[in-house]
A and B are shown apart, each in its own frame.
Chain A
């Protein structure tokens, strides 16, 4: 119910720039993720939006209202912490009621609201339980209930699922998404788990070392990464990077050292966008075809280093001129380490990265 605008938001801790001039608009009622490795500034950003950390410079707007100088409780935000921050000396009911009591609601109102939210999250049965006797998922639900009960217009989640095991995480993820649709709050979700971010978000902001690399839909982040960092961070197994040189022969070639591949259709873009001929070829494991025999004149010979069957598909590590190239292939294709094989890049899906600026030009 709130649109959030961050303008050139910056936070410095002594000499460290935790968040570097971040500009971001979060639509009303959207669920967005702040995604990045630890130390990328995502939690700091979240704390600045919550009002727990004051920015060094920059502005935060909630619905065109500058909130920089507002205290957390005046911003009407809810924050769920990574370690839940449940008060260990109170049972579930009192934990959930905590914020309502501070706001001075009557006993009946508090009870009514707590029961309502407990119903919503399916935790009515544990309202009398003390935190030390709760399971992690119960603690997680209580933490969420405590935040939702005050009906914040912005919900901030700081890696709320990272303490749960994989199966539970998937369930809670679906649950969170259902809740968000039901309540319609603006949600900012901090995570370092790319799958979680892709599964849950309307939009993802990928950050690294305090810098926003890309803010886009999950599809665009995956298919059209803007920087080498985004290209490498999203996707599992990660994208292959092969350093090569662009040469203007035969309409445009990428020289990989041991082989050359024809990229004539991208010649103009490369010439226009790249600062030099030194580029990096980026290609996802699933965008490489592998075969025992040469498929066409664009096939490149590689040596198989490892073969890892994963049920429906196999991950094959190959060596191409001293560089590791990882390929996912149908499980029906089998090779063993030491074999010779031929690979071919899907030219419609390759990325070409300017090595100096680390910008993805294609």
Chain B
């Protein structure tokens, strides 16, 4: 074995150690939430901490969907989360869909036609530089006037608006990666400008749109402040309800963690489904032409 090979092997090893360290850092909270979600009441806050629960306390999961009581040393009512999962799904999917569709149209306008001038994209993004609370309160007042407070459609509109700058920016950058010549070539062959956008460029940025959609979905799914401000009881999203696990009889760490695990599942599922596109979308610049 030559010296060079040894050096390479050492580098590979060092690389793996770094990757494992990084993974441990990212994965530990998820492991901890998973572990806690399966702990019985007595194990939630013990010291020294328990990493692997003795008995898998499935009742944590059952209780949050039945809204039942949790027995043991004390009895506490566990909130029923079924509705909040559905509400979150409606608002996040709705908000993401509108944000992506409108963002796509805006992105074509910006990337291909320079609509709004040179500084428009920056201007668009600057809308997101202020803390969200600055917009949330006026939005609540507006919503109460037109009757959108505590409605799905109200939250969907808010989510679409708040994520629109991101989706526009991201999709515009993906469009700019596709050479304009492709559209021109199709135009010489007889396509209209609109057709060249949707039949030539759009199929080539599918990966980018998938990546953007995932990003926007995560933002919406985990959004707390707007949901807290604009809804109270008819609509209740997961992040708002997770907070509701502080009860008079203490904090219900087990069911709360179980709820947390449930909240992560759609994100993981979504990522897996679009994984193929995601890798392409997130490394777009690297594999261009």
Contacts and interface: CB of A to CB of B under 8 A. Distances in A.
Interface residues of B, number: 15
Nearest to A82: B181
Query: Most A CB atoms within 10 A — which of B179, B190, B191, B204?
Result: B190
Interface in B196-246: 200, 203-204
A72 B188 contact: yes
A87 B189 contact: no
A79 B185 CA distance: 7
B188 A73 contact: yes
B185 A85 contact: yes
A331 interface: no
Contact of B184 (A71, A81, A103, A150): A81
Given A85-B181, A87-B182, A88-B204, A52 B190 contact: no
> Helix, strand, loop or mixed for chain A's interface?
loop
A278 B267 CA distance: 78
Contact of B188 (A78, A82, A84, A88): A78
B48 interface: no
Contacts of B188: 50-52, 72-73, 77-79, 99
B187 A72 contact: yes
Contacts of B186: 98, 102
Nearest to A90: B203
B29 interface: no
Nearest to A80: B185
A158 to B, nearest CB: 9
A103 B289 CA distance: 28
Given A87-B200, A89-B203, A89-B204, A52 B187 contact: yes
A99 B190 contact: yes
Interface string A61-96: 000000000011100011101111101110000000
A53 to B, nearest CB: 10
A62 B187 CA distance: 19
Given A77-B188, A99-B188, 20 more contacts: A47-B184, A50-B184, A51-B188, A52-B187, A72-B190, A73-B187, A73-B189, A73-B191, A78-B188, A82-B181, A85-B181, A87-B200, A88-B204, A89-B203, A89-B204, A99-B189, A102-B189, A102-B190, A103-B189, A103-B190
Interface of A: 47, 50-52, 71-73, 77-79, 81-85, 87-89, 98-99, 102-103, 146, 150
